[in-house]
Amino acid sequence: MRTILPFGPQHPVLPEPIHLKLVVEEEKVVEVLPNLGYVHRGLEKMTDIRDYNQMVNIVERVCGICSCIHSLNYCEAVEELMGLEVPSRAHFLRVMWGEIHRVHSHLLWLGLFADGFGFESLFMQFWRIRERAMDLMEATAGNRVVISTNIVGGCRRDITPDQKTWILSETDKIEKEVRALEKTILDDYTVKKRCCGKGVLTKEQAHQLGAVGPMLRGSGWAQDVRQTGYAAYGQLDFEPVVEYDGDSYARCKVRFREVYAACDLVRQALAKMPDGEIAVKVTGKPEGEVWRRVEQPRGELYYYIKGNGSKNLERVRIRTPTFANIPPLLAILPGCELADVPVIVLSIDPCISCTER
Amino acid sequence: MFEMTKNVLQNLMGKTSTRLYPFTKREPFAGFRGTLDINVEECIFCGTCAKKCPSQCIEVDVKGRTWTCDSFACVYCSVCVEACPTQCMTMYNVTKPAAGEKDLISYKGKPKEPKKPKVAKEENPAG
Amino acid sequence: MFANEQAVTADALISECRKRFDAGLRLVGVSAVEIKADDAFDVLYHFDKDLELSHMRLTVPREAPVPSVSGVYFQALLYENEIKDQFGVNFQNILIDFGCTLYLEPEVVKSPFCTFTFARKDKGKEA
């Protein structure tokens, strides 16, 4: 006997409203139908009334958790369209703020994941560590989450040598405190019982269905868009973090180890940062087409921007990683039990305000 | 199994990690973008801040010499502060306090003719 | 025009996608833009293998039917539904067809990104 249960849009375990219709047959999920559009704000259409400089602030607010990387991609795309050469120091500053954003986003997700199966004290500990990253951003950039430091042509703010030593010491403290919590989340019997073997995405399925980010890397593909070398990543060395099991536990491990990789990248970027200007003067108007992608904490983000020679861009098309991760979610949910649905939905790291900009 | 015990004991014995806000407040960081204000004596009413604002919350009336800002639509990005040619705007690092109803900040600047020595300046307090 | 781009017609679309699926390319996304001068749409398909990009461009006039590739690439159904909502491109045989209700409400008759009213129940006309 089949019943149709609505999961969301409001659910205690979800950080963002996603609406799924689950067809359930005696505690096992048989089919899933998604229903998007709850927080659709129509941000792509705002390019008609705001010019390409004001669009930086709008594009930042597509997602709250990964906002700096949206503006990084947009600025790089418009700079490529207009043929601007950004100074090297600005590239390194953008990478530094982008990696601090990645640390804060993964710590937020780890806290919510622990909260998803009731481990509230670990949730609070992860968010307490995250406050250090928030203080870093507030002191260097002016705001905790939506930092507005990237502009077309470079960066708006610079860091002083005192701030540089402080950032290095805080990054060390963040890494030390996260390492102290590693055994608690990764070696725990209860956590393993709820995550291992749930929501398995095989290697073939991940590639054919178009999974991105930690979902792809948790299933055995060592692909990370940062390897293509945009911004200053060509001059920093890092390896993508890969796991091979494809279940929720593997995805959790991927994100956990990416926190260490991000801290290491911050240290490398600060060590190699050259002196010089942080912005270049912008002349002319954007014309032509460009396609650019970056690696967000949740996966691969691409922008397709078309300009027609006036101050307003003709088309800004944003494809966020959660939009690409929803078809794999529709493939891994059938067959699991009803009590596992929140953990599996959380393991794809849903950011619905990104999906339905 | 007892991985978090050390952490738990530290939290029990040490002091609380939360502050008793609003009785104790943290020192704001320098460079934090909190409240927008203008020194209207130096404003030349060019309208650059209104053109560059991403949320279009500033209105500049050149003829009537008034500058109005909807401080509840402002996103505190400080693009106006950097674009102003006379640098007459400042962004203080204290957060704007919560208010019960929305209001606008409105300033009237000096009139253009130098014959009238009287300076008309009205100021609505912003909550 | 991008490097690695191939132009394709509506008839050859599904066989070209099947070729790429068998070669192991991943569908990264589908984008659409309106070309006002020719009254046509440009639908772009983006593919990736081992971080190497390639694109396919399909130019269709308004209201011309476009076959859906969701039989070959399952994730295309979400992109095609979204483009149908936003632009009114006439996709046929999408695996799960939301019928223009993915983002839009049922009473909306004008697609947000185009400069014309697409034909839902009445004839399309210039807005």
pLDDT for A106 equals 92
CA-to-CA separations, A13 to A65, A95, A256, A339, in angstroms, rounded? 17, 32, 20, 12
CA distance, residue A245 to nearest chain C CA (Å): 20
Q: Which residues of A touch B7 (CB under 8 A)?
A: 125, 180-181
What ipTM score was computed for the predicted complex, to two decimals?
0.83
DSSP state for residue B72 in the 8-state scheme? T
* Encoded tokens for A114: 């622990």
pLDDT for A52 equals 87
Bigger pLDDT: A175 vs B118: A175
Q: In the predicted model, is pLDDT for residue A156 greater than 70?
A: yes
Neighbours of chain A (3+ CB pairs under 8 A): B, C
| Pairwise CB contact (< 8 Å): B3 & A148 | no
Q: Which residues of A74-101 are buried (b: 16+ CB within 10 A; e: fewer)?
A: bbbbbbebbebebbbbbbbbbbbbbbbb
Q: Which residues of B touch A56 (CB under 8 A)?
A: 54
Name the residue with tokens 């009238």.
B116
pLDDT digits (tens, 9 = 90+) for A175-220: 998 888 888 888 888 888 888 888 888 888 888 888 888 888 888 8
Q: In the predicted model, is pLDDT for residue B125 greater than 60?
A: no
CA distance, residue A54 to nearest chain B CA (Å): 5
* Encoded tokens for A346: 């959380």
Q: In the predicted model, is pLDDT for residue C123 greater than 70?
A: no
pLDDT for C118 equals 45
- Kindly report the number of other CB atoms within 10 A of residue A130's CB atom: 20
pLDDT digits (tens, 9 = 90+) for A58-78: 888 888 888 889 999 999 999
pLDDT for B111 equals 64
Rounded to 10 deg, the angle between the A88-116 and A248-272 helix axes is 150
Nearest to A129 by CA among A176, A61, A60: A176
pLDDT for A227 equals 84
Q: In the predicted model, is pLDDT for residue C122 greater than 50?
A: no
Bigger pLDDT: A112 vs B122: A112
What would the mean pLDDT of C110-115 be, rounded to a whole number? 62
pLDDT for A311 equals 84
Which of left, alpha, beta for B37 (phi over 0: left; psi -120 to 50: alpha)? beta
Tell me the one-letter amino acid at A291: W
Residue A172 pLDDT grade (very low, low, confident, very high; cuts 50, 70, 90):
very high
pLDDT for B117 equals 47
pLDDT digits (tens, 9 = 90+) for A234-272: 888 888 888 888 888 888 899 989 999 999 999 988 888
* Encoded tokens for C105: 């409400």
* Encoded tokens for A177: 């405190």
Residue C125 pLDDT grade (very low, low, confident, very high; cuts 50, 70, 90):
very low
CA distance, residue A139 to nearest chain B CA (Å): 6
Nearest to A132 by CA among A169, A159, A164, A95: A169
| Pairwise CB contact (< 8 Å): A300 & C28 | yes
Please state the three-class secondary structure of A22-91 as a single string: EEEECCEEEEEEEECCCCCCCHHHHHHCCCCCCHHHHHHCCCCCCHHHHHHHHHHHHHHHHCCCCCHHHH
Residue B110 pLDDT grade (very low, low, confident, very high; cuts 50, 70, 90):
low
C99 touches chain A (CB under 8 A): no
CA distance, residue C92 to nearest chain A CA (Å): 19
pLDDT digits (tens, 9 = 90+) for A18-61: 888 889 888 888 888 888 878 888 888 888 888 888 889 888 88
- Phi/psi at A122 (5° precision): -70, -35
Query: Interior CA angle at A93 toward A90 and A97, to 5°?
Result: 140
What would the mean pLDDT of A331-341 be, rounded to a whole number? 86
What would the mean pLDDT of A334-354 be, rounded to a whole number? 86
Best A48, A53, A54, A312 member to test B by mutation, with max B CBs in 10 Å, is: A54
Q: Which residues contact C46 (CB under 8 A, 6 or more apart)?
A: A291, A302, C27, C28, C29, C30, C31, C53, C54, C55
Helix and strand totals (H; E) in chain C:
2, 8
| Pairwise CB contact (< 8 Å): A326 & C21 | no
Q: Which residues of C touch A210 (CB under 8 A)?
A: 26-28, 73, 75
The per-residue pLDDT of chain A, averaged, comes to 87
The count of C-alpha atoms lying within 13 angstroms of the C-alpha of B17, restricted to the half-sphere facing its C-beta, is 11
Q: Which residues of A touch C113 (CB under 8 A)?
A: 44-45
| Pairwise CB contact (< 8 Å): A156 & B82 | yes
| Pairwise CB contact (< 8 Å): B31 & A57 | no
- Of the given ranges (B80-84, B95-99, C70-74), which has the lowest mean pLDDT? B95-99
Percent of chain A with pLDDT over 90: 6
pLDDT for A107 equals 92
Pairing of strands C26-35, C40-49: antiparallel
Name the residue with tokens 């979610």.
A329
| Pairwise CB contact (< 8 Å): B33 & A143 | yes
Question: For residue A87, is the peptide bond before it cis, meaning its omega torsion is within 30 degrees of 0?
Answer: no
CA distance, residue C31 to nearest chain A CA (Å): 7
